[in-house]
Amino acid sequence: MSRIIAGKFKGRRLTVPKGMDIRPTTDQMRERLFSMLNHARYPNIQGARVADLFAGTGALGLEALSRGAKEVVFVEKSASSITTLKSNITTLGAVAETHIHQGNAQILPLATEPYSFIFMDPPYRQGLVEPTLKNIITNKWLAKGGVIVCELATDETLTLPPELTLIDERTQGQQRVLFLIFGN
């Protein structure tokens, strides 16, 4: 079971399919990372535009929406994950504030307007992080001073694009979360 931790949807349950195809961010880790994002060095989540890449159940983007984000775009390529995501969005009554882009997060289209926050939780150890980060920068998905919260396995190595700076990092079990800022 997964649930929204805080905000207007606090306590609401999210559908999580059985099996290993989706590995949603744990409630504990989501609580931890959103607490960190309340620090003054990060943009304000209130009224922010948010992208949730490799969205799966949509837990990260929906948590951001619950905490005051203005809108969230979810990028997911799996049809079964999109079915679950649509169900979670409908259950929360968040259809008007969300948009689903079915596609590959490594080949994002040129953004019409950049996002203040991008959450990305790709499948571990598949070499998806670096090309996705490069694509985010190339196709102008992240606003100047915007933040990427990137989850990966603790044993994965990473070379960051020069436009991104690591400002914080947390680990929990086999999971590592990087906080990257654009243009500082």
Domain ranges of the chain: 2-182
Alpha helix ranges (H) inside 49-180? 59-66, 79-92, 129-138
81 contacts 22 by C-beta, under 8 angstroms: yes
Q: Which CATH class is domain 2-182?
A: alpha beta
What is the structure's pLDDT at 184?
61
Q: Over range 54-71, report the average pLDDT.
A: 95
The pLDDT tens digits of the residues spanning 68-108 come to: 999 999 999 999 899 999 999 999 999 999 999 999 999 99
Report d(CA 140, CA 67) in Å as an integer: 25
